[in-house]
Amino acid sequence: MFAKTVIVTLLAITGAIASPVLPRGTPTDIDILQYALTLEHLENAFYSGALAKYDQTAFVKSGLSKFARKRFVQVGEHEKAHVEFLTAALGAQATKPCEYNFPYHDPKSFAALSMILEGVGTSAYLGAAQFITDKNYLTAAGAVLTTEARHAAWVASAVNKGTPWSGPLDTPLDLKQVYSLAAGFITKCPSTNPDLGLTPFPALTTSQNYAPGRKISLNYNSAGANDFLVLFSGLSTTYLPIKNGKATLPPRLTGTVYAV
């Protein structure tokens, strides 16, 4: 199997580059748990909705292995367990599920989106770990993180026939970056949900024929002449100048890359 470059571009900063922060400052442990539960509700809805819509016959007709749906059922059960675990930990402060719209149209596109969501879930817990002060919460988050990583590896390799990892290091994403990715699937949330203090970045889209070393077209609201495309891969951050709405990707880009 060969490594494939996948660029996830559902968020954008324009103009001067700065580390995004929560409006109310450093998040508390409760903030982090509410943020994690928001993501777990999304994943739970994603799996339960697709598995209710597509039966075993649909999965096989879509070209997926006979065992794929049964494994996805197990993944969905894990996500449901994560929701129940975080809901119990938060008690009355628990966030409620929102309404969602997921852009899949058959089991194969569902599997492709699953790989992205599981990768984002891994990056979300990894990026949030630095803010958790309670060691018990940190251990619990780590237990969820490793499960999300196993999900991502299985979907990428056994189902989508790619490599089971993005590279030697996973990519941590901060709260606003992850929320920007999740917001694209959320249509409405209960008014009683706690305010996470997060607003998504403006949308960024690229030409789909991207490859390492290739020049790609970008569609976003420019803030001026000094815009950069920022790529996150592992623990590396790469800044690419944007000229006339285009940027040239690095020649050795592999795995899942998040673009800002």
DSSP of 65-134: -TTHHHHHHHHHHHHHHHHHHHHHHHGGGPPPP-EE-----SHHHHHHHHHHHHHHHHHHHHHHGGG---
Q: Is 198 helix (H, G, I), strand (E, B) or coil?
A: coil
CA distances from 250 to 70, 192, 211, 254 (A): 39, 45, 9, 10
Bridge partners (DSSP) of residue 206 are: 218
pLDDT of residue 130: 95
pLDDT of residue 204: 83
What averages of pLDDT result for each successive group of 10 residues across the chain (260 residues)? 49 34 71 96 98 98 96 98 96 96 96 94 96 95 96 94 90 92 92 89 78 88 79 92 90 85
- Nearest CA to 181 out of 173, 189, 191 is that of 173
Q: Could you report how far apart the first and last alpha carbons of the chain are, in Å? A: 28
AA letter at 26: T
Residue 139 φ then ψ, to 5°: -65, -40
Residue 118 φ then ψ, to 5°: -70, -35
Contact (Cβ atoms closer than 8 angstroms) between residue 258 and residue 12:
no
pLDDT of residue 199: 84
Enter the pTM of the model.
Answer: 0.88
DSSP type of residue 238: E
CB neighbours of 109 closer than 8 A, spacing ≥ 6?
Answer: 103
pLDDT of residue 8: 59
pLDDT of residue 167: 87
- Nearest CA to 160 out of 211, 210, 110, 121 is that of 110
